[in-house]
Amino acid sequence: MEALQFILIIISIILGLIALALFLKSRRTDSKLPDGPSPTNDSSLKIQVVAHPFNFSDDPGNPLNDQIVEAVNRMGATGKDAEEKFQNCLERLKPNADKVTVILLKEYTGMPEQQYLDRWSVVQLLIDLKHPSSLPFFDKLLQTPIPPERFSDPSFTSSVGEEVIIRTTAVEGLVRMTKENNDAAAQLLLQHITHENFSVKRACIQGYLEAGGNNARERLEKLLNENDRYILNIKRQDVRNISQPKANRTTPRAKLNDKPGMPPPFS
């Protein structure tokens, strides 16, 4: 009798182990299935991978196209040799700067307004090439009114700010060419010292002051209205050279408020 009970216990244990093994196997199978609904043939989710923002519709087979794409990609790269590699790309483009400029101007014209980074990249590459044929484009860009704010919360992301960056980059291109004795670039800087946007205006004024030669300040003083002449005295400073306030962590809060009628700090 005791032997029979022992056999039944052993059988029960074996059956339990088999059931446990089957349960664990089913869990592993379920874990391989993706979360959410199963994919179907008419799923509407599609991912489009875009290698670059350019169309190159005029001449898709032009070997300069690949060099332009590489230069733009290198422009935003980081790392030890990133700048050197970008400069190498730039040097390969410079012998054909006139043709590259034509391609870039065509591509910029076809870009949607909201592609701010792509538009800036084109302008940046143009100012790095410094070809005179880009001057009419810079002039037209600076003459184009800045569109109204497109974002509901410009404190987080501002379309106006993006447009200003693109235009001040164009101004930097004029400054670079002015330094190389390009009179047409210098005249464009002077033409836009009354720009509607203060940041662009300041960039033109200070850019001409920097690159316009010995008489630049005198010429600007004659052209600027009295309310804008103070911009001549604004100096660019490297943030590393600006003295920073020292926090006094040991002074009690009560002693910080030493002026009568002033509320306690951080109240």
What are 151-186's pLDDT values in tens digits?
A: 988 778 899 999 999 999 999 999 999 999 999 999
What digits encode the pLDDT tens for the residues 187-203? Answer: 999 999 999 999 999 99
The tens digit of pLDDT for each residue in 51-62 reads 678 999 999 999
pTM attached to this predicted model:
0.71
Span 98-144, pLDDT tens digits: 999 999 999 999 999 999 999 999 999 999 999 999 999 999 999 99
CA 116 to chain centre: 8
Tokens of 152: 């509901």
Q: pLDDT value at position 53?
A: 85
Confidence of residue 38 (pLDDT cuts 50, 70, 90): very low
Looking at residue 246, its pLDDT comes to 65
